[in-house]
Structure 1
């Protein structure tokens, strides 16, 4: 891949300095002065690039690599060619992520659309809004009455911040986001098109059809949460919708009213979580999973992609399938189905 004009190459870091930064074992002092300025996959990394390997599967790529340095485990260090610096760590991908953040810090957050500091003359900020020094508001953004925004936060082009919303410091509210009825902590990232705080889906059958149930709760997003493009987080009906500290939510996720998500959870694209569900800490939910309302998913549980969660999931469980159940049962059912299909084919 040619150098990106969106993320130009870094000035460079020596291998020795990078090893120290990432707490990697490095015993090739003759290579320590080499400067690294880029990142690349193992198969096409060149002399100025750092890369990583996590298993034996791509060993052929490793043996032929022209990379400047590779993060690897101790078990794979002997496979690294002599001209490539072996940076030995317990978790190669995590170390690579740390190195990549040093070399391309601008890629950690959505890029700005415009240049310049402060509030764009093409933005509208209500006179009653309170913005700390260092807030950037890009063209076309609207900030409503009595909103509060902390220092270092970016409000992107065309974003809309509703009245009385509070946003902490060093946040990125990207292009086209809408934020209403919400309290947002520090270092939160909302990618383009995120919708926060709109009505939850609440109706009750009545003699004239469906009567709307008012939604008067809030959305509370704690520190260091990241929410992907075009995801939606509904405000609570009577209670609050809460996203816990450090949780990461992918693109195109729907989180219903009164949902409570714990700390450091991972929720992958196209997941839908219905109202009043509680998700514990450190939970991982695979893509395209549907979660029924009013259920509880315990701390540390893992839900496989394309599952249907109809009831409570115990802490630490690994479930999958439709309806979701322990993975051992899912794999057994799949094996039985394959065996039956094979028997039918043999009979025919």
Structure 2
């Protein structure tokens, strides 16, 4: 049985093109017309492959690599073996990403299973829906009444687009995802299984039972947002849930109703935002972070993985722990706790040797 190629190598590049695209610098005397025909990890790369390295943990792998060309930062340039050409870049990972995007464009976002435009047999598009030219709708997808979808957008199999939803141009709506009560901008990527615009968790609780509160807001997703597989974004209760342009949300993230997320935030997997939380621009939340409701995380703040945030975080701060606090204090408390545990039961003044 032949081994399938899921992401074909789209184009071969010569060393000069790689340097130009990445902004790196080749050593003098290197033949710029030499070509790369693949991209691989340091350990598996061969003479026709490109690799990159920017982490001290992989110094040994760099020293042993057989890659034809390797992108590295200046501090690792002298570790590249003699048989590998060094391409020095101040930001190797960004440079590598640019080359990957050029060589593997099909891996950038979910695509149509048929790779052809138009409405496929087996798709259901309501007569009142409006699809611009160049929209792709795969088998099993459902487009509801009054929905509007812009040119170049792909709606994958079994995705459901609810009534009156607006989706911009060149978006990718992953297989099995559902979208309702939402306005979505351009170049948005929604991965398979995501749920956008469902009820927020709103109940008026009492000793006699809990009364459901209608959730009448929307979800607003601005341009260039990416939402990972099986993540959920609840619609607002009486105002909108908003996700700002360029924000990247990992898999299995929960965004509660009325949350407002700023521009270019990064939210890692299994993080949960309770209702009415606000993230200002360029906030980073590590994996499994939990945010209480009705709080604000300031511009550029960073929260360490598995932290529990119970109050506002000032702009530019780095917090961690449970409950979350400034990272330096958290580290000191952790070190002190280890010392206290290690010394438990020892008599004062006893030898530590």
Structure 1 stretches lacking a partner, 5+ long = none
Deviates more, 1:320-329 or 1:40-49: 40-49
Cα distance in 2 for partners of 1:56, 1:253 equals 31
CA distance in 2, matches of 1:345, 1:319: 33
Separation in 1 of the partners of 2:307 and 2:54?
A: 28
Q: Distance in 2 between matches of 1:50 and 1:244?
A: 35
CA distance in 2, matches of 1:29, 1:246: 40
Structure 1 CA distance for aligned equivalents of residues 125 and 56 of structure 2: 55
Q: Hey, which bits of structure 1, 4+ residues long, moved more than 3 A?
A: 28-31
Instruction: Tell me the CA shift for residue 4 of structure 1.
Output: 5.7
**Distance apart, 1:37 and its partner CA:** 2.4
Q: CA deviation at 1:8?
A: 2.2
Change (3 A) 1:39 1:3: farther
Give the secondary structure class of the aligned counterpart of 2:102: helix
Which residue does the alignment assign to 1:229?
229
Q: Give the TM-score of the pair, scaled to structure 1.
A: 0.96
**Could you state the TM-score of these two structures normalised by the residue count of structure 2?**
0.94
1:283-302 equivalence runs, <5 A: 283-302=283-302
In structure 1, distance between residues paired with 2:50 and 2:140 = 40
Q: Is the 8 A contact 2:112 2:155 kept in 1?
A: no
Equivalent pair of 1:3/1:9 in contact (CA under 8 Å): no
Structure 1 equivalent of residue 321 of structure 2: 321
1:258 matched to 2:258: yes
CA distance in 1 between counterparts of 2:345 and 2:7 reads 54
CA contact 2:11–2:102 (8 Å) conserved in 1: no
Contact (CA 8 Å) 2:112, 2:136: kept in 1 or not?
Answer: no
Spell out, residue by residue over 1:225-272, the C-alpha distance to the aligned partner (whole angstroms, 9 max, x if none). Answer: 000000000000001000000000000000000000000000000000
- C-alpha contact 2:197 2:219 (8 A) present in aligned 1: yes
Deviation at 1:49, TM superposition (A): 1.6
Residue aligning to 1:14: 14
Partner SS, residue 43 of structure 1:
coil
Residues 148-196 of structure 1, C-alpha deviation per residue, up to 9 Å, x if partnerless? 0000000000000000000000000010010000000000000000000
Find the counterpart in structure 2 of residue 71 from structure 1. Answer: 71
SS at match of 1:242: strand
Give how far 1:28 is off. Answer: 4.3
Write the distance in 2 (CA, Å) between the matches of 1:48 and 1:10: 15
In the aligned structure 2, how far is the partner of 1:28 from the partner of 1:59? 24
5+ unaligned residues in a row in structure 2: which ranges? 348-353
Choose 107-116 or 243-252, whichever is displaced more: 107-116
Instruction: Encode CA deviations 1:102-141: one digit per residue, 9 max, x unaligned.
Output: 1111000113323432001211101100000000000000
Q: Secondary structure at the match of 2:30?
A: helix
Which moves more between the two structures, 252-261 or 329-338?
A: 329-338
Residues 1:4 and 1:339: Cα distance change in structure 2 (over 3 Å): farther
Task: Identify if the C-alpha distance between structure 1 residues 165 and 240 changes in structure 2 by more than 3 Å, giving closer, same or farther.
Answer: same
Q: What is the alpha-carbon distance in structure 1 between the residues aligned to residue 45 and residue 253 of structure 2?
A: 34
Q: How does 1:7-86 map to 2 (within 5 A)?
A: 7-86=7-86
The answer to whether the 8 Å contact 1:124/1:143 transfers is yes
Q: 2:285, 2:125 → 1: CA distance? A: 38
2-side partners of 1:237 and 1:56: how far apart?
48
Distance 1:63 1:207, change over 3 A: closer
Residue number in structure 2 paired with 1:156: 156
Distance 2:194 2:27 in 1: 46
- 1:268 and 1:230 map into 2 onto residues whose CA distance is 13
CA RMSD in angstroms, aligned pairs only: 1.6
In the aligned structure 1, how far is the partner of 2:270 from the partner of 2:119?
35
CA distance in 2, matches of 1:133, 1:50: 38
Partner of 1:112: 112
SS at match of 2:338: helix
